[in-house]
C-alpha cells in the first residue's frame, strides 16, 4: 500500500495497533495525540493491565524492528486548532483516521466536568478535523471510528442496516415520499451522544464541501495484541479493566483471574456487538482501500463480528475458568433486555473473515491476563460512575 495517513488518537487502544498495521502495510503514517488517555489514567489512579511504554519508547521500538519512522505531534486537536491545522498542512495526508475522542461511557456520565469535557473534546476534535480539511482544500479520505451504540438498544425486530434507513411516508391519493435518512439515533450516554452529533457533522460536510467520509460504527473491541504489537515488548497494546474504561469482556477476564465474581449489570440481558482488535485494524485498512467518491453521503459500515448477550458472555467465561457470577445493581440506565441484529455485510463483502469469541478468548486469557495477573489492582474493579444524578448508597461496593 502507498499513500500517507494521519492517525488522530494514535497512542490509544485502537489507534496504536492501527498505526503500526498501516505502517507495516506500507503507508507513510504519522500520529497526532495529546496523550489525554494517559492523563485520565493518572486522574483516576488507574493503569493498563499491560505495562505500556511511553510514546517515545513505542516509536523507537517500531523504528528498531522495522526501520520505519512514525512522526508524532503531541497536540490537543480540540483546543489547538491552528497547531493541528499546521500539521495537516505540513503532511497533506491522503487519508486521516480519527480515533481522538474520549471513549468511555461511564467516564462521560461521572459528573459535570466529565460531561462537559466529553462533549467539548469529542465534538471539537471532529469539527476541527473537518474544518482543517476544508480550509486547506485537502481532498483526503476521512475514516472515523463511531459506535454501534448510536442505534440504541430498543428491541427492534429487524436487522439494523449500515447507518441509514429507507423510509416511505404514504401521502394522500396513493402518493408517497421516499427517502434514505440517517438511522434515528438513541444514544445511551453523553459519550454515545457525541457520536450521534459527529454523524450530523459528517452529513453536513459531505453535502456542503463534498468531503469523502467513512464512519465505522464499531462494536465493543476485545483482545489486546496484533501481529505488529507482538514484535517488541515496548509495542504492547493497552488493556483496560477499571470501572470506567474497562469494557465488559476485559473486566470479566480480569475478575475471573483473581477470583472476583463476574460483575453482570442487572439481568445481563443486554445484547451488544463485539469485534477483536485484530479485526479493528484490518477493517480500517479495508475502509482506506475503498474510499467513497466526492459528493457521496458519508459511507457507514457496521464494524462488528458478532453480537452477544452479557450474561451469556459471563457464563462462557465462568465455564472456562470456574468463576462465580454476581448479578449487581446496574449503575447505568439501559434496556434490561434487548435483541440486536446488525448487518456487517460491507466488511464481509470486502473479504473480512472475523475472529469470533469462541476461537480466541482462551488464548487472550492465557497470553495477557495470565501473564500480567500480578499487576491487577482489585480496587479498580467496582463501577464508580452512575447514570443517575442522585447517589445510590451501597451500589459501589467490593464483592
Ligand atoms: P482510547 O482512549 O484508548 O484512544 C483515544 C486516543 O485519542 C487517546 O490516545 C487520547 O489521548 C487521544 N485523544 C483524545 N482526545 C484528543 C484530543 N483532543 N487531541 C488529541 N488526541 C486526543 O480509545 P480507543 O478505545 O482506542 O477508541 C478509539 C476510538 O474508537 C474512539 O473514538 C472510540 O469512540 C471508538 N470506539 C472504541 C471502541 C472500544 O471498544 N474501545 C468501540 C467502538 C468505538
Ligand atoms: N457491563 C456489565 N458489567 C461490567 C461492565 C459492563 O454488565 O462490569 C455491561 C454494561 O452495562 C453494558 C455492556 O456491558 O450493558 C457493555 O458495556 P461496556 O463498558 O463493555 O461497553 P460500552 O459502555 O458500550 O462502551 C464500549 C466502548 C465505547 C464503544 C462501545 C461500543 O468503551 O468506546 O463505543 O463499547 S457500543 O457498545 O457498540 O456502543
The pLDDT score that the predictor gives to residue 53 is 98
Instruction: Tell me how far CA of residue 334 lies from CA of 154, 194, 388, 398, in angstroms.
Output: 9, 17, 12, 23
Place of cell 449489570: 265
Task: Give me the helix-helix angle, 310-321 and 357-364, nearest 10°.
Answer: 50
Cell of 114: 466529565
**ipTM for the assembly:** 0.99
- Is residue 394, in this structure, part of any structural domain at all? no
CB-based contacts of 20, cutoff 8 Å, min separation 6:
62, 226, 228, 229, 235
From CA 35, how far away is CA 47, in angstroms rounded? 14
Pocket of ligand 2 (CB under 6 A): 103-105, 147-149, 219-220, 247-248, 251, 263-265, 270, 272-273, 310, 330, 332, 334
What does the pLDDT read at residue 273?
Answer: 96
Q: Please count the structural domains in the chain.
A: 1
pTM above 0.90, yes or no: yes
The CATH number of whichever domain residue 27 belongs to comes to: 3.40.50.720
In the chain, what is the straight-line distance between the N-terminal and C-terminal CA atoms, in Å? Answer: 50
CA of 154 to the centre of ligand 1 (A): 26
The pLDDT value given to residue 312: 97
**Average confidence (pLDDT) over 383-399:** 65
What are the beta bridge partners of residue 218?
147, 303
Q: Active site includes 195?
A: yes
pLDDT single digits (tens) 260-287: 999 999 999 999 999 999 999 999 999 9
The answer, yes or no, to whether any atom of ligand 1 lies below 6 A from the CB of 218, is yes
Query: Which residues constitute the domain of residue 367?
Result: 4-380
- CB of residue 123 inside a 6 A radius of ligand 1: no
d(CA 28, CA 66): 13
What does the mean pLDDT of the chain come to?
A: 94
212 located within any domain? yes
For residue 385, being part of any structural domain is answered with no
Q: Within 13 A of 18's CA, how many CA atoms are on the CB side?
A: 33
On the question of pLDDT at 298 being above 70, the answer is: yes
The reply to whether 393 falls in a domain is no
Rounded CA gap, 345 and 347, in Å? Answer: 6
Residue 392 domain-assigned?
no
pLDDT value of position 23: 98
Q: pLDDT tens, 185-212?
A: 999 999 999 999 999 999 999 999 999 9
Question: Would you say residue 181 lies in a domain?
Answer: yes
CA nearest to 80, candidates 128, 116, 46: 128
Is 226 among the residues known to form the active site? no
Burial class (CB in 10 A: 0-12, 13-18, 19+), 223: buried
Is 390 part of any domain? no
CA 248 to ligand 2 center in whole angstroms: 6
| 142 is a domain residue | yes
Amino acid at each position: 500500500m502507498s499513500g500517507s495517513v494521519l492517525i488522530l488518537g494514535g497512542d490509544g487502544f485502537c489507534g496504536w495497533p492501527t498505526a503500526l498495521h498501516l505502517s507495516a502495510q506500507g503507508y507513510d503514517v504519522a500520529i497526532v495525540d495529546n496523550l489525554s488517555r494517559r492523563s485520565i489514567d493518572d486522574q483516576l489512579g488507574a493503569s493498563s493491565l499491560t505495562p505500556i511504554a511511553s510514546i517515545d519508547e513505542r516509536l523507537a521500538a517500531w523504528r528498531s524492528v522495522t526501520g520505519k519512522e512514525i512522526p508524532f505531534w503531541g497536540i490537543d486537536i480540540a483546543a489547538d486548532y491552528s497547531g493541528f491545522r499546521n500539521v495537516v498542512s505540513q503532511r497533506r495526508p491522503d487519508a486521516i483516521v480519527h480515533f481522538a475522542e474520549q471513549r468511555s461511557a461511564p467516564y462521560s456520565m461521572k459528573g459535570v466536568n466529565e460531561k462537559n469535557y466529553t462533549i467539548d473534546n469529542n465534538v471539537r476534535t471532529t469539527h476541527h478535523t473537518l474544518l482543517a480539511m476544508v480550509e486547506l482544500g485537502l481532498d483526503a479520505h476521512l475514516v472515523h471510528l463511531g459506535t454501534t451504540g448510536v442505534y440504541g438498544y430498543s428491541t427492534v425486530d429487524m436487522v439494523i442496516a449500515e447507518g441509514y434507513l429507507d423510509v416511505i411516508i404514504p401521502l394522500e391519493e396513493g402518493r408517497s415520499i421516499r427517502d434514505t435518512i440517517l438511522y434515528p439515533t438513541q444514544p445511551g450516554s453523553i459519550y454515545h451522544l457525541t457520536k450521534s452529533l459527529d454523524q450530523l457533522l459528517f452529513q453536513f460536510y459531505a453535502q456542503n464541501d463534498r468531503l469523502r467520509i467513512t464512519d465505522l460504527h464499531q462494536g465493543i473491541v476485545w483482545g489486546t495484541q496484533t501481529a505488529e504489537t507482538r514484535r517488541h515488548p515496548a509495542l504492547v497494546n493497552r488493556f483496560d479493566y477499571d470501572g470506567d474504561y474497562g469494557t465488559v469482556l476485559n473486566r470479566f477476564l480480569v475478575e475471573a483471574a483473581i477470583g472476583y465474581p463476574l460483575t453482570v449489570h442487572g439481568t445481563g440481558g443486554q445484547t451488544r456487538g463485539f469485534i477483536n482488535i485484530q479485526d479493528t485494524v484490518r477493517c480500517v485498512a479495508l475502509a482506506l482501500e475503498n474510499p467513497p467518491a466526492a459528493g457521496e453521503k458519508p459511507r457507514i459500515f457496521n464494524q462488528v463480528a458478532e453480537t452477544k448477550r452479557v450474561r451469556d458472555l459471563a457464563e462462557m467465561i465462568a465455564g472456562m475458568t470456574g468463576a462465580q457470577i454476581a448479578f449487581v445493581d446496574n449503575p447505568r440506565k439501559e434496556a434490561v433486555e434487548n435483541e440486536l441484529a446488525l448487518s456487517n455485510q460491507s466488511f464481509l463483502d470486502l473479504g473480512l473473515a472475523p475472529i469470533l469469541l469462541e476461537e480466541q478468548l482462551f488464548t487472550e486469557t492465557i497470553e495477557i491476563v495470565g501473564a500480567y495477573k500480578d499487576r491487577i489492582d482489585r480496587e479498580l474493579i467496582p463501577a464508580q460512575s452512575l447514570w443517575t444524578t442522585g447517589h445510590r448508597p451501597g451500589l459501589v461496593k467490593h464483592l
